[in-house]
Amino acid sequence: MAGYIEKGAIRRHELVGPEIWRMEIELPRTARDAKPGQFIDIRIPDGTRILRRPISIAGTDPGRGITEIFYRVVGKGTEILSHLKAGDVVDSLGPLGNGFTIPDGHIVGVGGGVGIAPILFTARRTQPGQMTVAIGGRNKEEVFWKDFFPQTLRELIVTTDDGSYGVKGFAIAALPDIFAKGPVAEVVTCGPGIMMRKTAELAEAAGIPCEASLERRMGCGTGGCLACVCDRRDGKGHYKVCLNGPVFNTKEVIL
């Protein structure tokens, strides 16, 4: 999906985790149109960086015209973003890409790192009791996400590598038990590559459709720069993640 340029003021900007920031931006059109799994491309406001920074949408409030994102400071561009304050104006291109399908029936979400953001958006759009979510982090400080998920989830499973919060281990370890409890209409996942691969393998073995939101450097957001390609599973070349994705059926791509 091709987006549009929209500029809006920051209404909230706060540090919520290790080098992870939460930002609420007044982007009414984006808030109205965005679907879980889509992203926005933000211009870095220092005048020297041509490429925008792609950031998954974590939620919207159409009534207030608010679009919410989370991002990790990983370089100079996102470091510049972290110094913006409430009232500063953000230049956004979006909403971009294809979102999750969100069928009727039980949906299972699996997320890790900042890849939890599109899982959070999905959880906020599903019906009460429709979604089970498993999220993981290295330690207690990295699973702050749990506080942002709606109380309407069927279940929220939190894991940590060191056992400092929730279940010790990885989020994917919860999937066999979830699948055994009853029918699952779809699995959605976003996060580290190995986590998404294992999630897709378990879903495929159980005969459950799985969609993954791929994380790539999507500088233009419109398919022109070719910086975000991924390999097709059928061997017929590549997909442009920003244009053909970022959400793909896991049978279509090599994760």
Write down the pTM of the prediction. Answer: 0.94
Percent of the chain with pLDDT over 70: 96
Neighbour tally for 228: CB within 10 Å: 24
Residue linked to tokens 């926005």: 40
Residue range 108-137, pLDDT digits in tens? 999 999 999 999 999 999 999 999 999 999
Q: Which fold has domain 107-208?
A: Rossmann fold (3.40.50)
Residues 17, 163: Cα–Cα separation, whole Å: 18
Average pLDDT over residues 16-40: 96
**Residue 99 pairs with which residues in a beta bridge?**
none
Residue range 221-249, pLDDT digits in tens? 667 777 788 889 888 888 888 888 899 99
Residue range 153-209, pLDDT digits in tens? 999 999 999 999 999 999 999 999 999 999 999 999 999 999 999 999 999 999 999
Reply yes or no on domain 4-96 having CATH 2.40.30.10: yes
Domain residue spans of the chain: 4-96, 107-208
Say whether pLDDT at 48 is over 80: no
Say whether pLDDT at 2 is over 90: no
Residue range 66-108, pLDDT digits in tens? 999 999 999 999 999 999 999 999 999 999 999 999 999 999 9
φ/ψ of residue 144, rounded to 5: -60, -20
